[in-house]
Amino acid sequence: MVGKVDFVQGFVPNHNHGSVDYTSVDAGHVHQCLDVTSPPVKMDDDDHVHYTEGYVVFEDGHTHHYQAYSGPAIPVGNGMHVHYYDFYTSEANGHRHRVKGVDQPAPGNK
């Protein structure tokens, strides 16, 4: 069993990441984006990414959907890693929002 403070060398199967972020300001408002990724999607170069999809929090009378993949793993020390994400939501009410940032650390330095 791997805990959130355990040092882990290598890749940890079946982990995921969470994130809490806000969208860009468009049409005079923002949406909160609460997210949990899929388990890892292995890449040919022995790295991995995560798929995610969902809806941003209802605001200003509407919501937006998103579907995206993260970037590759970024080791952050103490046997943990994160992923960078940068994507756009679907269009609603004549606009869309950008969401970018880094998710929460997960076990494994790869």
pLDDT per position as a tens digit, 23-38:
999 999 999 999 999 9
Residue 21 and residue 23: Cα distance in Å, rounded? 7
pLDDT of res. 79: 87
Residue 92: its pLDDT value, please? Answer: 96
Structure confidence at residue 49 (pLDDT): 98
- Write down the pTM of the prediction: 0.90
Residue 81 has phi, psi (to 5 degrees) of -145, 160
| Residues in contact with 101: Cβ distance below 8 Å, sequence separation at least 6, in sequence order | 19, 21, 84, 85
Query: What CA–CA distance (Å, rounded) separates 13 from 16?
Result: 9
